[in-house]
Amino acid sequence: MATTIRDYPKLAADICDAVGKDNIISAAHCATRLRLVLKETPSAEVTQRISEMPAVIKVMESGGQYQVVIGTHAKDVYEALAQLLDLDENAADAPQTKQGIGSRIIATMSAVFAPFVYILAAAGLVQGALIIITHFAPAFAETGTYSVLSFISWTPFTFLPVMIAVTASKHFKCNTFIAMWCCLALVNSDWGAIAARIASGETVKFLAFPMSQTTYTSTVLPPLFLVLVLSYLERWLNKHLPDIIKALAVPFICTVIMVPLTILVIGPVSDMLATGIANAYNFLVNTVPALAAILVGGIWQVFVIFGVHWGVTPMCLANFANYGCDSFQAFQTCAVIAQAAACFGVFLKTRKADIKNVSLSAGLTGIFGITEPAIYGVTLRLKKPFVCGCVGGAIGALIISFFNTKYYVYAGLPGLLTTVNAMSDANPSSFTGMMIGVLATIIVTIILVQIVGCDEKGPKNN
C-alpha cells in the first residue's frame, strides 16, 4: 500500500499554529509559494522554525506578503490551510491591512495569474508541438487533427479574461459569477463583430457615446480593472439595496453598468496602459537589444527571489496580442535554464552526497521552468553557483539577441521545453539563435561552477 511521502495537511496546520490562526488575514498560492497576508510579522524564531519544517524550502517577506516557498506542492498546502481557515466563507469579511501600491500590485498579479499559469503553460506546449510537427510535415496543417488541436491550444488565451474573472473576483472579494458574466460579454463574438464594424470606419454608439474598437480576447488589464471596479460597485449595492430585491438587482445593475463602462472607458484606457508598458520595453530591445538581453538574462532570477516576477505577465501578453511575438520570454528562458545548469554544475562539483541529491532534483525541476527549488535549495544557498547562473543567463541571452530571437507562442513557465516556441518560418534564425544561446548558457554556467566552486561550508538555511 502506498504511503504519503509528506503530510501536507500537517504542514499546513504547523504553519498555521506557528504564525497564529487569528494572525492570518488572507492566503493565496502561486506555483511554488504559499503567500500569507498577516496582521503582525512573526518573530525571527517563528520564521526559523517554519523554515526548518519538512518540505519548506525558504521563508521570506516580500510584496507585503509572508511567503513560504514549498515547491510544486504549494497548492496542496494551500488547500489544506484553506480548510483550516474557512477562507472561502470568511474572505469577504476578512480585515484588511495597509500595503504600498507596489506591494498591492505584485500581490494582485500573483493571486490572479498563479492559479492558471499551468493551464497557459500546457496550452503553450500543445502549440509548440504543432509548430514542430508542421515544420517538418507542412501538410499536417491542412488536416482536421491539426485544426482540433489548434483551437484547443488557443482556447485558454481566447477566454483568458474569463479565467481572470474567476481568480480576480476571489482576490477582490466579489461575486465570481457576475464577474464571469461581464468578462464573457467582452469575449462574445457579437462584440467582436461590432468592434470590426468600428474598425472599418463605422460609428457605433452606446447611448450617446461612441465606442472604440478594442477587442478583449487574450487581454489582461481590461478584465482585471473591470473586476476591481465591480468589487466596489457590488459592495455598494449590497449595502444600499433592499434585501428583497438584492439577489436579482445586484447582478442586473452590475452587468448593465460594468460591461458598457469597460467598453467605453476601462477597456481602452487599460489596454493603452498595457501596450504602453510593452512599447517601452520594446523600445529598449529595438534600440539596445544587447543591454535588454543582459538585463533580463542576468537579473531575472533576482525578481523570482523576491516573488515579484508576476508583474511582467501583462506586458508579455500584450506583446503577443499586438505583435504575435515577444523577446522578453526568450531572454527569460536563458535565465531559467542557467539556474538549472548551475544545479547540474554543483552536482558535478560537490563531493557531498546530500548536496548531490538536492542539486540533481532541483536541476530537473528547473528544466520545467520552476526555479525556486534550484535557487533556495542549491544556488543561492551556496552563493557562488547563483552568481554563475546569472552570468551564464546573461551570456546566453546576449547571444540570442544577435539572432533576433523571439517567442512566437506564450510560455506560462519558460524553460528548456518551451524553446520550441522560438520557431518561426518567418524568422528562421530565431530558433537557431535560441539553441545556440541555450547551449552557451548551459556550458558557460557549468564551467563557471567548476572553476569558482561551491561554498559548501555556507549555512544550510539562508
Is the pLDDT at 93 greater than 50? The verdict is: no
* Of the candidates 114, 106, 229, 107, the residue with the CA atom closest to the CA atom of residue 163: 114
Angle at 312 between CA 311 and CA 314, to 5 degrees: 95
Helix (H) and strand (E) counts for the chain? 21, 6
List CB contacts of 238: < 8 A, sequence separation 6 or more: 246, 250
Instruction: Give the mean model confidence (pLDDT) for residues 112-116.
Output: 82
- Residues 445, 447, 451, 452: what is their CA dihedral angle, to the nearest 10 degrees? 10
Lowest model confidence (mean pLDDT) among 58-72, 154-168, 209-223, 380-394: 58-72
User: Could you tell me the end-to-end alpha-carbon distance of the chain, in angstroms, rounded to an integer?
Assistant: 37
Model confidence at 89, pLDDT cuts 50, 70, 90, reads very low
Q: What pLDDT does residue 92 have?
A: 41
Beta bridge partners, 69, equal: 33, 58
Question: Cell triple for residue 311?
Answer: 508583474
Model confidence at 451, pLDDT cuts 50, 70, 90, reads very high
Q: Rounded CA gap, 379 and 452, in Å? A: 13
Q: What pLDDT does residue 111 have?
A: 79
Q: What pLDDT does residue 3 have?
A: 34
Model confidence at 234, pLDDT cuts 50, 70, 90, reads very high
Q: Rounded CA gap, 421 and 406, in Å? A: 8
SS3 content of the chain, % helix, strand, coil (to 5): 70, 5, 25
Residue with grid cell 520557431, as numbered in its chain: 423
Q: 304 near 33, Cβ under 8 Å?
A: no
Lowest model confidence (mean pLDDT) among 81-95, 102-116, 133-147, 403-417: 81-95
List CB contacts of 320: < 8 A, sequence separation 6 or more: 157, 218, 326, 410
Lowest model confidence (mean pLDDT) among 113-122, 238-247, 437-446: 113-122
Task: Please give the model's pTM, rounded to 2 decimal places.
Answer: 0.74
> 4 vs 302, which has greater pLDDT?
302
* Of the candidates 278, 168, 281, the residue with the CA atom closest to the CA atom of residue 234: 168
- In the chain, the percentage of residues whose pLDDT exceeds 90 is 41
Residue type present at position 165: A
Element (H, E) at 205: strand 205-206
Q: What pLDDT does residue 331 have?
A: 96
Q: What pLDDT does residue 458 have?
A: 46
Topology given in CATH for the domain delimited by 8-99:
Gyrase A; domain 2 (3.30.1360)
Residue with grid cell 500569507, as numbered in its chain: 36
Residue with grid cell 492570518, as numbered in its chain: 24
> 460 vs 340, which has greater pLDDT?
340
Instruction: Give the mean model confidence (pLDDT) for residues 152-171.
Output: 92
Q: What pLDDT does residue 6 have?
A: 64
Q: What pLDDT does residue 311 have?
A: 72
Q: What pLDDT does residue 98 have?
A: 55
Domain ranges of the chain: 8-99, 159-273, 288-452
> 300 vs 101, which has greater pLDDT?
300
Beta bridge partners, 38, equal: 24
> 374 vs 333, which has greater pLDDT?
333
Question: Cell triple for residue 248?
Answer: 436579482
